[in-house]
Amino acid sequence: MGVKEKLIAFENEAARHCTVTMRDGRELYIENCRCVKECDDNLITLTVYDMDIRITGAPLTLESFGVNGVKISGKIHSLTLEEH
């Protein structure tokens, strides 16, 4: 296996993991988010590798969505993981 193939395999394996960090119940950071399925003031649903993450709270704000992940702020009430 060449270097290029090893890098592709590493990238594919890394994308199977996500990291969720919560600070003070008011900020949530999620790495390796694939897409935002749903977004309103009280509910945000994100897709990561093989599951959805449902965040409920009031009011929720999707502050950023980029290469480094997703940042959500607001009073977070609950987080639910749902497998596909």
The per-residue pLDDT for 8 is 75
Query: Is the model's pLDDT at 13 over the cut of 80?
Result: no
Residue-level pLDDT at 14: 62
Place of tokens 């090893």: 6
Across residues 33-51, what is the average pLDDT?
A: 93
- Domains by residue range for the chain, with CATH: 3-83 (2.60.40.2000)
State the pLDDT at residue 59. Answer: 96
User: What strand order describes the sheet that includes 43-48?
Assistant: 20-23, 27-30, 69-83, 51-66, 43-48, 35-39
pTM for this predicted structure = 0.81
Residue 49: partners with Cβ closer than 8 Å, 6 or more residues away: 15, 16, 17, 18, 32, 34
Residue carrying the six token digits 């003031």: 41
- The residue-averaged pLDDT of 42-53 equals 93
